[in-house]
């Protein structure tokens, strides 16, 4: 928002804003120092009560990791015992509980030894002068913990159980004793002496429990994506124990791989032998089926038989077509003779009918018809020769028809015979795909069975040969495990985290407190959001009696009101009547009104202080004045002269206070009385300045009714009291010019970085100073020592 009339405002620059923000946090330096002390002390205590942990590491190479074997078959891979290796699977296998349980059970890592110190209990591993051996185990789930003291060459004192219910007894070396149904024996180590003052602890845990505990501290990771090397790390309280466990894991993982491959090789050979017996019988059965199928269907060579049958079928089809053509010719000639319209015409030739009798008859018929055609025109139709020719033609026609019938029967007989042969060939050809498919299936099964039989024979020999290399593991430990440390607790990280927590927790507390604070904290916040000029600040007075100024006072509060007086008269030169209001009650507008009237009257000016907060008056009570008669009585006509309600101040006789008087039934109607204008006209005539204390503008309309009689408005905002949302209300009043010549006064300001304000102080001894020393008995934070200024 653009700032207007900001003559009396100090717009914060980036440097000042950073300084203020830093000062806000530095004001809480005791809390920060306390937090640092607590967290660093807790870190120190944690470091000294936490047993140090050491880390051992080793490298394990997977020999065939990443090897491509695309040209190998499944049985070869099965006999190898390893297919193409996935390093992720290798990591999971190494991290599995099975391997760890095998290591713990075989090497006895579920038994631990400790020595008690003043602060720490330290694991000694092989450094204990004795060994705990479990002879019989019935309860394999409970953890057993023995404490050994006063040890000597014969034995010592052994205690067990919790502190309150602990029991103890004297034991002898190599003498078994029973606890919870389990049989134990303590065996001394001859190469280690006994310290009578030392206190040792022997602990037995179940194998699954200790394996789970070690697995949580065991880390397996790949060294590089391009390499086939795994890094194994283990963190425990004893560096030698960590190294031994890692070496044991590598050893047992190699042994596990060899055992697995041996079992796999043996099972492969047994599987091949069993399959050879089965496949041998299957091969004999397939060959018998092929022989039987070929004999039952007369199948010798399907391809040559199919070619011959296809050729014969084509020849028969061509012959049938020729017979059909001849049948057509016979039918055509027969139809020619049976057609009456063809009578007396020549008969066409036999057109491909290979029958000499028919050809001769047709030729005689045509010759006789031609002869008749030549002689008929010369003689009459009843001529004997013509009649004889007609009879001969009829006879020849009958003979031809009879010959055609015989030829037709002969052709149909031939066609039926050829169709029968054709059907046989077609049936044979149609059965060929089925026969060929069946034979292909039989031969395929024969081929597969024979190939598998030969393949298994070969692999049985290979398995027998490869079983000799099963004793070589696929894994190789590159170097023995070695340890370093301690790695936990990490003192630097712990102290760093403690320091950061010690710093950021109080800082976060201050930040969240400021973030969720809905009240105004300082001048800069007002300047950023409000366009109304801030005419001055009023410092916090810790006691109520210090809030009303003495005319001769020279403390910081007095100087601030004098500064407000100077700014007010400079900004509103020639203005006489000042209205004082606020957003809500409790923001100190009445105190501001009293002190402003006091500083205006101190140079000798006549000042009237009007208590126009007639709803909730407080000025008369604060100044111990009689308020039975006041402004409301004058406005109602009960009091005729202002002098009757005027109360001069003792120390400032030129300051007259006009109390509110009796509370009216409707205060707003009272302020709308015509005598209000008359009142202010008289006051302007008799006084140099008039200060009007009125009700809060955010709650009632009284200030707006009185604004027409005033020259300027002092709007009071109280630090840590006024809500931030009230700034929008103030902006709306200023933009709408509902209160004329409006300025702001920031009240109840606490100096020091905690509240984000740095002002100037003043006292009788040192004069002016910049935010240091004490103000009215309240200690404040200072960036530098105050310097006396002239």
Quote the pLDDT of residue 232. 93
Average pLDDT over residues 64-70: 46
Q: How deeply is 670 buried, as exposed, middle or buried, from its count of CB atoms within 10 A (0-12, 13-18, 19+)?
A: buried
Whether 693 and 609 have beta carbons less than 8 Å apart is answered as yes
Average pLDDT over residues 223-243: 89
Q: How deeply is 288 buried, as exposed, middle or buried, from its count of CB atoms within 10 A (0-12, 13-18, 19+)?
A: exposed
Mean pLDDT of the chain: 78
- pLDDT, greater one: 95 or 63: 95
* Distance (Å, whole) CA 493 – CA 759: 43
Task: Give the contacts of 339 (CB within 8 A, at least 6 positions apart).
Answer: none
DSSP letter, residue 757: B
- pLDDT, greater one: 166 or 202: 202
Average pLDDT over residues 231-235: 93
Quote the pLDDT of residue 778. 35
Q: Tally Cβ neighbours within 10 Å of residue 109.
A: 22
* Distance (Å, whole) CA 713 – CA 112: 85
Quote the pLDDT of residue 456. 78
| 724 alpha carbon, distance to own chain's centre | 38
Task: Give the contacts of 189 (CB within 8 A, at least 6 positions apart).
Answer: 128, 129, 130, 131
Q: Look at residue 64 and tell me whether its pLDDT is greater than 90.
A: no
Q: Which structure tokens are listed for 749? A: 């300001």
Residue among 626, 664, 541, 639 at smallest CA distance from 591: 541
Quote the pLDDT of residue 570. 81
Quote the pLDDT of residue 692. 93
Quote the pLDDT of residue 190. 75
Q: Tally Cβ neighbours within 10 Å of residue 663.
A: 13
Q: Which structure tokens are listed for 573? A: 């030169």
pLDDT band at 544 (very low <50, low <70, confident <90, very high): low
Quote the pLDDT of residue 365. 74
Q: Is 174 left (phi over 0), alpha (psi -120 to 50) or beta?
A: left
Task: Give the contacts of 345 (CB within 8 A, at least 6 positions apart).
Answer: 369
Average pLDDT over residues 683-694: 92
Kindly give the residue spans of alpha helices, DSSP state H, lying in 516-643. Answer: 523-529, 556-571, 589-601, 619-622, 631-636
The top-scoring range by mean pLDDT among 357-371, 681-695, 737-751 is 681-695
The top-scoring range by mean pLDDT among 188-202, 226-240, 366-380 is 226-240
DSSP letter, residue 600: H
Per-position DSSP letters for 302-354, written without gaps between them: HHHHHHHHHHHHHHHHHHHHHHHHHHHHHHHHHHHHH-GGGTTSPPPP-TT--
Q: Which structure tokens are listed for 586? A: 């409790």
Cα distances (Å, whole numbers) of residue 781 to 682, 764, 774, 777: 49, 20, 9, 13
For 347-372, write each residue's pLDDT tens digit: 666 556 667 777 777 777 777 777 77
For 3-54, write each residue's pLDDT tens digit: 444 444 444 443 456 776 777 778 788 888 999 999 999 999 988 888 889 9
pTM of the predicted protein model: 0.52
Q: How deeply is 2 buried, as exposed, middle or buried, from its count of CB atoms within 10 A (0-12, 13-18, 19+)?
A: exposed
Average pLDDT over residues 587-613: 89
Phi then psi for residue 678, to 5 deg, are: -65, -40
Quote the pLDDT of residue 729. 85
Average pLDDT over residues 61-76: 55
Largest CA-CA distance found in the chain, in angstroms, rounded: 191
Q: Which structure tokens are listed for 472? A: 């070589």
Whether 476 and 278 have beta carbons less than 8 Å apart is answered as no
Q: 767-770 and 760-763: which strand pairing?
A: antiparallel
The C-alpha angle with vertex 392 and arms to 386 and 393, in degrees rounded to 5, equals 90
Residue among 306, 295, 294 at smallest CA distance from 425: 306
Phi then psi for residue 537, to 5 deg, are: -115, 150
* Distance (Å, whole) CA 747 – CA 742: 16
Q: Three-state SS for 498? A: helix
For 452-481, write each residue's pLDDT tens digit: 778 878 877 777 776 666 567 788 888 999
Q: Look at residue 690 and tell me whether its pLDDT is greater than 90.
A: yes
Task: Give the contacts of 622 (CB within 8 A, at least 6 positions apart).
Answer: 548, 590, 591, 594
* Distance (Å, whole) CA 78 – CA 470: 12
Phi then psi for residue 229, to 5 deg, are: -115, 135
Phi then psi for residue 774, to 5 deg, are: -125, 140
Quote the pLDDT of residue 497. 93
* Distance (Å, whole) CA 332 – CA 316: 24
Q: Three-state SS for 198? A: coil
Whether 675 and 594 have beta carbons less than 8 Å apart is answered as no
- pLDDT, greater one: 376 or 202: 202
Quote the pLDDT of residue 20. 66
Q: Which residue has the tokens 């030729």?
A: 363
- pLDDT, greater one: 568 or 350: 568
| 413 alpha carbon, distance to own chain's centre | 92
Euclidean distance between the first and the last CA atom of the chain, given in angstroms as a whole number: 38
Q: Look at residue 662 and tell me whether its pLDDT is greater than 50.
A: yes
Quote the pLDDT of residue 278. 79
For 611-633, write each residue's pLDDT tens digit: 988 888 888 888 888 888 888 88
């Amino acid at each position: 928002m653009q700032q207007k009339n900001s003559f009396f405002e100090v717009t914060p620059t980036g440097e000042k804003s950073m300084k203020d923000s830093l000062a806000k946090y530095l004001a809480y330096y005791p809390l920060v120092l306390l937090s640092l002390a607590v967290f660093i002390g807790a870190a120190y205590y944690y470091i000294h009560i936490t047993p140090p942990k050491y880390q051992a590491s080793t490298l394990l190479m997977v020999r065939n990791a990443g090897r491509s074997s695309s040209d190998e078959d499944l049985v070869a891979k099965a006999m190898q015992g390893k297919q193409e290796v996935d390093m992720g699977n290798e990591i999971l296998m190494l991290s599995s509980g099975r391997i760890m349980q095998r290591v713990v059970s075989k090497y006895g890592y579920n038994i631990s030894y400790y020595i008690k110190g003043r602060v720490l209990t330290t694991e000694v591993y092989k450094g204990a002068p004795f060994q705990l051996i479990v002879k019989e185990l019935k309860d394999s789930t409970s953890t057993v913990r023995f404490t050994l003291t006063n040890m000597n060459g014969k034995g010592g004192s052994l205690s067990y159980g919790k502190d309150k219910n602990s029991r103890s007894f004297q034991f002898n070396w190599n003498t078994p004793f029973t606890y919870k149904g389990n049989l134990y024996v303590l065996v001394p180590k001859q190469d280690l002496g006994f310290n009578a003052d030392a206190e040792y602890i022997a602990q037995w845990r179940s194998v699954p429990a200790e394996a789970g505990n070690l697995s949580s501290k065991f880390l397996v990771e790949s060294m590089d994506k391009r390499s086939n090397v795994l890094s194994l790390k283990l963190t425990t309280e004893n560096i030698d124990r960590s190294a031994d466990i890692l070496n044991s894991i590598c050893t047992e993982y190699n042994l596990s791989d060899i055992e697995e491959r041996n079992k796999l090789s043996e099972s492969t050979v047994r599987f091949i032998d069993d399959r050879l017996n089965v496949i041998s019988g299957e091969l004999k059965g397939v060959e018998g089926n092929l022989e039987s199928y070929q004999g039952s269907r007369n199948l010798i060579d399907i391809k040559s038989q199919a070619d011959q049958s296809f050729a014969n079928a084509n020849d028969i089809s061509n012959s049938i077509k020729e017979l059909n053509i001849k049948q057509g010719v016979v039918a055509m000639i027969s139809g020619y003779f049976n057609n009456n319209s063809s009578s007396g015409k020549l008969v066409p030739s036999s057109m491909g009918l290979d029958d000499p009798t028919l050809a001769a008859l047709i030729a005689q018929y045509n010759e006789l018809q031609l002869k008749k055609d030549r002689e008929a025109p010369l003689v009459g139709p009843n001529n004997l020769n013509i009649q004889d020719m007609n009879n001969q033609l009829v006879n020849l026609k009958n003979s031809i028809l009879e010959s055609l019938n015989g030829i037709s029967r002969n052709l149909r007989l031939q066609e039926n015979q050829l169709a029968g042969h054709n059907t046989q060939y077609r049936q044979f050809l149609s059965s060929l795909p089925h026969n060929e498919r069946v034979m292909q299936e039989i031969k395929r099964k024969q081929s597969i069975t024979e190939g598998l039989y030969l393949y298994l024979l070969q692999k049985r020999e290979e398995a027998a040969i490869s079983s000799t290399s099963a004793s070589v593991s696929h894994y190789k430990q590159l170097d023995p495990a070695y340890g370093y440390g301690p790695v936990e607790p990490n003192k630097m990280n712990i102290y760093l985290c403690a320091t950061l927590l010690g710093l950021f927790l109080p800082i976060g507390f201050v930040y969240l407190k400021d973030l969720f604070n809905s009240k105004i904290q300082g001048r800069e916040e007002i300047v950023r959001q409000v366009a109304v000029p801030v005419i001055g600040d009023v410092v916090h007075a810790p006691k109520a009696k210090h809030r009303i100024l003495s005319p001769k006072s020279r403390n910081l509060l007095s100087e601030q009101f004098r500064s407000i007086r100077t700014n007010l008269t400079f900004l509103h030169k020639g203005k006489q009547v000042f209205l004082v209001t606020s957003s809500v009650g409790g923001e100190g507008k009445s105190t501001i009104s009293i002190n402003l009237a006091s500083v205006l009257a101190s140079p000798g000016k006549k000042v009237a202080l009007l208590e126009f907060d007639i709803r909730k008056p407080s000025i008369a009570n604060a100044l111990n004045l009689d308020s039975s008669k006041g402004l409301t009585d004058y406005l109602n006509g009960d009091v005729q002269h202002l002098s009757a309600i005027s109360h001069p101040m003792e120390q400032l006789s030129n300051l007259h206070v006009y109390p509110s008087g009796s509370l009216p039934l409707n205060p707003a109607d009272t302020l709308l009385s015509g005598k209000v204008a008359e009142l202010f006209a008289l006051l302007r005539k008799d006084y140099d300045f008039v200060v009007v204390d009125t009700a809060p503008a955010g709650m009632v309309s009284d200030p707006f009714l009185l604004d027409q009689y005033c020259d300027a408005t002092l709007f009071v905002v109280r630090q840590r009291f006024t809500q931030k949302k009230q700034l929008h209300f103030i902006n709306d009043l200023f933009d709408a010019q509902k209160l004329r010549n409006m300025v702001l006064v920031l009240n109840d300001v606490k100096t020091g970085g905690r509240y984000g304000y740095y002002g100037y102080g003043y006292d009788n001894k040192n004069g002016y100073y910049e935010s240091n020393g004490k103000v009215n008995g309240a200690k404040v934070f200072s960036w530098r020592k105050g310097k006396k200024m002239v």
